[in-house]
């Protein structure tokens, strides 16, 4: 169980950390503006789920191994940067706009092939959010530094406490980013009624992800 006297400090600190602008929130915002609510919200759910992997590593002590190993840190960092680069290049090559569905520019529900394409796109966005978060070693190190501050060794079951804290953080992240994706997606749907603007937004998203890839690749282990 989460120790009672540490719950409110943990909750406040978590919400502050989640509200702070970062690569994941910028990604959700940009996808919402360029591709609409559905894709942004799916990506946000993927990010929240990705937090669970860092929780597991922290509870098992794997994050400490990565923190102590330059080679492992670099490998994870470069894998994450390569994935971000791949997403960015894909966005630059996109034709503009997003797959139909209830969030489509014409406002009508998807059916047939368009509906299946929307489902496939949503799954892909979820996977992108999950991998994007999971392959960020800085997030891994954040969890190993953050979670133990709200664990009480005297209460026993330290690993269980960390798992519960991490699961709570993941849930709060998912909810917050889904709301952000819904809000930015609504604005994006209004903007995307203009095809030329949709193409330019895709370019901006592409450059953003490429910039995030470069930033992650240049990250140094502290």
For 12-62, the three-class secondary structure string (H helix, E strand, C coil) is HHHHHHHHCCCHHHHHHHHHHHHHCHHHHHHHHHHHHHHHHHHHHHHHHCH
CA 207 – CA 204 distance, rounded (Å): 5
Q: What are the tens digits of pLDDT across the range 109-159?
A: 444 555 666 677 889 999 999 998 998 888 888 887 888 888 887 777 778
Q: Note the pTM of the prediction, 2 decimals.
A: 0.74
Distance, in Å, from the CA atom of 174 to the CA atom of 66, rounded to the nearest integer, reads: 25
What pLDDT is stored for residue 58 in this prediction? Answer: 83
Tens-place pLDDT, residues 47-95: 999 999 999 888 887 656 666 777 877 887 788 788 778 878 887 876 6
Q: Give the chain's domain count.
A: 1
Q: What number is the average pLDDT over the span 11-18?
A: 92
Q: Across 2-6, 99-103, 122-126, 144-148, which has the greatest mean pLDDT?
A: 122-126
Give the domain range for residue 200. 33-217
Do the beta carbons of residue 128 and residue 24 sit within 8 Å? no
154-189 per-position pLDDT tens digit: 777 778 888 999 999 999 999 999 999 999 988 887
- 51 within domain boundaries: yes
Residue 1 lies in a domain: no
Interhelix angle 112-134/37-60, rounded to 10 degrees, is: 30
In-domain check, residue 95: yes
pLDDT for the residue 109: 44
Q: Which of 88, 24, 19, 31 is nearest to 54 (CA)?
A: 24
What is the structure's pLDDT at 95?
63
Domain membership of residue 55 (yes or no) is yes
8 A C-beta contact, residue 35 and residue 188? yes
Q: 42: which residues sit within 8 A by CB, 6+ positions away?
A: 122, 123, 125, 126, 129
Q: With cut-offs at 50, 70 and 90, classify the pLDDT of residue 209.
A: confident
Pairwise pLDDT comparison (220 vs 133), residue with the higher score = 133
pLDDT of residue 207: 85
Residue 129 belongs to some domain of the structure: yes
Residue 119 maps to a domain: yes
21 is a domain residue: no
- Asked if the structure places residue 107 within a domain, the reply is yes
């Amino acid at each position: 169980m989460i120790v009672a006297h540490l719950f409110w400090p943990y909750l406040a600190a978590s919400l502050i950390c989640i509200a702070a602008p970062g690569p994941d929130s910028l990604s959700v915002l940009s996808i919402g503006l360029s591709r609409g609510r559905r894709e942004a919200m799916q990506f946000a759910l993927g990010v929240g789920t990705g937090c669970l992997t860092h929780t597991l590593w922290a509870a098992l002590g794997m994050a400490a191994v990565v923190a102590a190993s330059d080679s492992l840190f670099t490998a994870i960092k470069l894998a994450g940067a390569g994935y971000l680069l791949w997403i960015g290049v894909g966005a630059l090559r996109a034709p503009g706009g997003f797959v139909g569905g209830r969030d489509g520019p014409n406002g009508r529900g998807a059916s047939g092939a368009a509906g299946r394409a929307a489902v496939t796109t949503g799954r892909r966005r979820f996977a992108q959010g999950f991998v994007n978060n999971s392959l960020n070693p800085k997030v891994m190190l954040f969890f190993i530094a953050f979670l133990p501050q709200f664990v009480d060794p005297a209460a026993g079951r330290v690993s269980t406490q960390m798992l519960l804290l991490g699961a709570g953080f993941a849930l709060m992240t998912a909810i917050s980013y889904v709301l952000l994706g819904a809000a930015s997606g609504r604005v994006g749907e209004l903007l995307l009624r203009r095809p030329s603007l949709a193409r330019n937004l895709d370019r901006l998203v592409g450059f953003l992800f490429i910039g995030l890839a470069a930033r992650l690749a240049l990250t140094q282990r502290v």
